[in-house]
Structure 1
Amino acid sequence: MTEPRLRVSDEDGETWDDPSEDQIQRLYAGLNLRRRFLVLDRLDVPEAEVGRHYLQLALNDDLTMVIEYRQGSAATHYRADVPLPSDQGGEEIALPVLLGWASGRPGWSEGLSWVRWDTARECPWGA
């Protein structure tokens, strides 16, 4: 059996190894104000890099979203806002980002305006 290359987890701590695109879409569709986020962790990186290659999506109170990704060092840590609520067009923006990142599809990040993450100034995931 091969080691998983991707792990998805939710706010409840449930995990799915190597989920299909359909599974990721269902997990995204299940987000709500009680289950606000998904974390996609890349596991097919050198052992010292595990935990430093991920994409996270979190719902805000108004159902807009924040997406964060990191591809190694802190210098490759970015975030973007999805200004439309998930039920009013936000899905068309967020879902291609999740699926594209998970599969390593070229251009997955092009639909959003990314800014470097600054931990001294912001923490959209809460305290």
Structure 2
Amino acid sequence: MPEPVLRALGEDGSSYDDPSEDLLFDLVGQVGDGELEFLIVERTTDPNGLTYVQTKLGEHGDWLVERQEGSIHRHYETVAQDSHDAHRMVVGWAFEIPGWDLGLSWARHDPSDWHGLPAPSEGLLGRIRGFLGRRPGTSPK
């Protein structure tokens, strides 16, 4: 059986290899319903685990969508207006749909701007990995 290319993760310990667009829709919906705090979809082909997209519901009903492209120096965020928008961004990134990010305004984060906050590689995704008891590119125990 081939190794998965994508893995979806929730803070509740859920993990799904090669999630479908429909499953990602359900998982984003769980974030919106409060069943999950956030959703991360990572590319398992990155041995360092630094290539992923993540989304969570913001304090004011908007959706934060972040992506990282293999390095903490290539970490970006934008805001989606609703769960459908967030789903479209997550799916576009995950399945590398041409033009998925056209018209979106991405803010780049410089690691020096985190002022003592955990870097993305050590923050949310790192906490998920710690919770799941695994390292990048490995399956949960």
TM-score past 0.5 threshold: yes
Q: Deviations over 1:64-104 (max 9, x none)?
A: 1111111112232111122x3xxxxx133222111111111
Aligned position for 1:87: none
- Secondary structure of 2:110's counterpart equals coil
**Are positions 1:103 and 2:95 aligned together?**
yes
How big is the shift at 1:63?
Answer: 2.2
CA distance in 2, matches of 1:38, 1:105: 19
Match of 2:16 in 1: 16
Work out the CA distance in 2 between the residues paired with 1:92 and 1:58.
13
Tell me what 2:104 maps to. Answer: 112
Judge conservation of contact 2:28–2:86 (CA < 8 Å) in 1: no
Q: Secondary structure at the match of 1:27?
A: helix
Give the structure-2-normalised TM-score: 0.72
Identify unmatched segments of 5+ residues in structure 2: 118-122, 125-141
TM-score norm. by structure 1 comes to: 0.79
The alignment of Structure 1 onto Structure 2 pairs a total of residues equal to: 116
Seen in structure 2, the aligned counterparts of structure 1 residues 24 and 111 have a Cα distance that, compared at 3 Å, is farther
Distance in 2, matches of 1:78 and 1:115, equals 5
**Structure 1 stretches of 5 or more lacking a match?**
85-89
Correspondence list, 1:1-127, <5 A: 1-31=1-31, 32-33=33-34, 35-45=36-46, 47=47, 50-82=48-80, 84=81, 90-119=82-111, 120-121=113-114
The RMSD of aligned alpha carbons is 2.1
